[in-house]
Chain A
Amino acid sequence: MANAHPTPILEVRDLCVEFDTMAGLVQGLRGVSFSVMPGETMALVGESGSGKSVTAQAIMGLIGLPGRISSGDILWKGQSLLTREGQKAAGKLRGKSVSMVFQDPMTSLNPLMTIGAHLIEVLRRHMGLSKDKAFARGVELLDAVGITEPKRRMGQYPHEFSGGMRQRVMIALAIACEPELLIADEPTTALDVTIQAQVLDLLADLQKSMGLSIVLITHDLGIVAGLCEKVAVMYAGSIVEAGTAKTVFDHAEHPYTQGLIRSTPRLDDRRARLISIDGAPPSLLHPPKGCAFQSRCPVSSRQCDEKPARQATPEGGSVSCWTPSVAAWSEPSESPTGGQAR
């Protein structure tokens, strides 16, 4: 905070998203706030259903019925994207300045269109290129994401590509219009481990060469440690802890973060059983009034019946907990970076 407040490229302020389902109003996001600086890589971490993907969809304007953004704001370089003028501007931003890579490359491409047609479509739309120029640029892009024989590949259909190759195509599509921010929603979850590493390396290279900001959504803490500067941990629709990757891993304050790190399997670990956090996240249909993690927290107290406010940590991060920095779990939890959590 000491440096002269540069404008974040993306800022999410107290964002709430609701889904009007048959069962009732599901609170998908319950006040999510974070910001991403130019060139920064941030991870959104959390278990399934914690609201990571909903956050990404809200940014991309993909929340469709029965969902809606009920309150909060999304700002692009300081300008709201949710006002009427903002929505117009957002239409031009999305796909151009902000783009997204999705979880499942197998179903993310139109099976009846060639890879080239996909690329040419966005290049013509956002970059105003002619058909020939768009084709040439498409070839360059495929080459840039490491697809061999790009010219021939342009004329092929998605079913002629493997999963890893398709994810490379998705990345090529996402960077086609030279975006400033790339949202990657579990980009490697559907890929096998060796391909995962290749795709992550590719993202890291692109981030360096293009000065891209990346929001990486994942539940794999190993990926976060390798790629991201900042981390925000989500639980039950809100961010419970945020900070630099190093502080969050080495000095996890929130019992949930500690539990998450503790339950990460390690190659050098000889314990027979995988450690897990007992219980399940609360239903977002009727979320608890107090701390959402209370029912699973080993150190919860009376105080936790009230919602904890977000507070700064000594290491420069933030945490929403009444009793931060307590070593919540009986055994010491070890972080993937090798440090010891307190």
Chain B
Amino acid sequence: MGTFILRRAFQGLLVVLGVTIVVFIATRLIGDPAKVMLPLSATDAQRAAFEAQFGLDKPLDQQFFAFIGDLMSFDFGESIWQRKPALDVVLGKLPKTLELIGAGMFLAVAIGIPLGAIAAVRPDGLFDRLIVGLSLTGLSIPQFWLGLLLIMIFAVGLGWVPTSGTGTLAHLILPAVTLAVPAMARIMMLVRSSVINELNQQYVRTAKARGLPFVRVLFQHAMRNALVPVLTLAGWEVISAWAGYTVVVETVFAWPGLGFTAMKAIGQSDLFLLQAIVFVVAVGIVIVNILLDVLFKLIDPRIKDA
């Protein structure tokens, strides 16, 4: 197991390096920070001074090698927008995003798995139809629109929770629900079909024939097998939230996390901040993947080291 994790970590390192290089190139394509950061009235000399300050006046290959050199010491340069080391800005925003993803994914899993499993017990029963209908609705709603709708109803209309911002549990509820709904819908559907499939397996029949109560057959036997594909999806949900959905949700709710900051960084052409964000996101994805691999090995003994 130890060597397995080490090998995966090494592979992850290569992935992160690759991603950072791609991002270096991509960020150089999205715009000229000097144009965005300086007022229109700035003189050419001021522009040149600005570029010199951030090393943007050097040829691209020199910038690249400087970038790689700095990367080795986790130096991502200074955020042009915030005038602070870029990595510090990112790490400062990180807890907020983790809080949002944690809450959202907890909701999605804690509600999606049991409801999906209960729906599977009687396929096409009343409860099952209800769950399938809800799932389809959840899947069809655009996330940004759901966020706005929730704000209108629960924050503006009923006034139960704040419209945006952060700080208390009340602030967390709407963004977490918005992040959770599509993930929950997908998890529910997969758990449902996966449990239906497992309940039709021969080993479930033999477990019943051994006189085990249905609850035990469902949870001890069928669910464990059904959760293998669900784990894949849950990992995918965490990664997509981490590298995508949070951008939408954080923007809608002005949640001061990584996604919100990424939007700002793009708006401000803050190359260094953007690089740091993508780096942290890539590292996060690699870590989630390693965790998933380890979990798979713990759950399913048939998975060999690969």
A residues contacting B by CB (< 8 A) are 60-62, 91-96, 99-100, 102, 104, 107-113, 121-122, 125-126, 157, 159, 170, 173
Contact = CB atoms under 8 A, between A and B. Distances in A.
A125 to B, nearest CB: 6
A202 to B, nearest CB: 18
B297 interface: no
Interface stretch (B165-173, B245-253, B298-306): B298-306
Interface string B180-206: 000000000000000000000111011
Contacts of B225: 110-112
A109 B210 CA distance: 11
Contact of A157 (B202, B203, B301): B301
A112 B300 contact: yes
* Interface-central residue, B205, B210, B301, by most chain A CB under 10 Å: B210
Contact of B212 (A62, A100, A125, A170): A125
B209 A95 contact: yes
A62 B301 CA distance: 29
A104 B205 CA distance: 11
Contact of B202 (A94, A95, A96, A107): A107
B207 interface: yes
B211 A102 contact: no
A112 B210 contact: no
Interface residues of B, number: 19
* Interface-central residue, A104, A113, A173, by most chain B CB under 10 Å: A113
Contact of B211 (A96, A109, A112): A96
A42 B254 CA distance: 75
B301 A112 contact: yes
Given A110-B225, A111-B225, A157 B302 contact: yes
Contacts of B206: 100, 102, 108-109, 170, 173
Contacts of B299: 112
A111 B203 contact: yes
Contacts, number: 68
A109 B301 CA distance: 14
B224 interface: yes
Contact of B203 (A61, A95, A110, A121): A110
A99 B209 CA distance: 7
B129 interface: no
B8 interface: no
Interface of B: 201-203, 205-212, 220-221, 224-225, 299-302
B58 to A, nearest CB: 57
A112 B302 CA distance: 8
A62 B210 contact: no
A109 B208 contact: no
Given A113-B221, A113-B224, 18 more contacts: A60-B209, A62-B208, A62-B209, A93-B211, A94-B211, A95-B211, A100-B209, A108-B206, A110-B221, A110-B224, A111-B203, A111-B302, A112-B225, A121-B210, A122-B212, A125-B210, A159-B302, A173-B206
A268 to B, nearest CB: 37
A168 to B, nearest CB: 14
Nearest to A117: B220
Top 3 A-B pairs ranked by shortest CB distance?
A: A95-B211, A95-B210, A107-B202
Contacts of A94: 209-211
Contact of A102 (B205, B220, B302): B205
B199 to A, nearest CB: 9
A43 to B, nearest CB: 20
Given A110-B221, A112-B299, A157-B302, A91 B202 contact: no
Nearest to B302: A159
A35 to B, nearest CB: 21
Contacts of A173: 206, 210
A273 to B, nearest CB: 35
A304 to B, nearest CB: 37
Nearest to B210: A95
Contacts of B201: 107
A164 B24 CA distance: 59
A180 to B, nearest CB: 14
Given A94-B211, A95-B210, A112 B202 contact: no
A91 B215 CA distance: 14
Nearest to A173: B210
Contacts of B208: 60-62
A108 B203 contact: yes
Contacts of A96: 211
Given A110-B225, A111-B225, A112-B225, A104 B209 contact: no
A102 B300 CA distance: 24
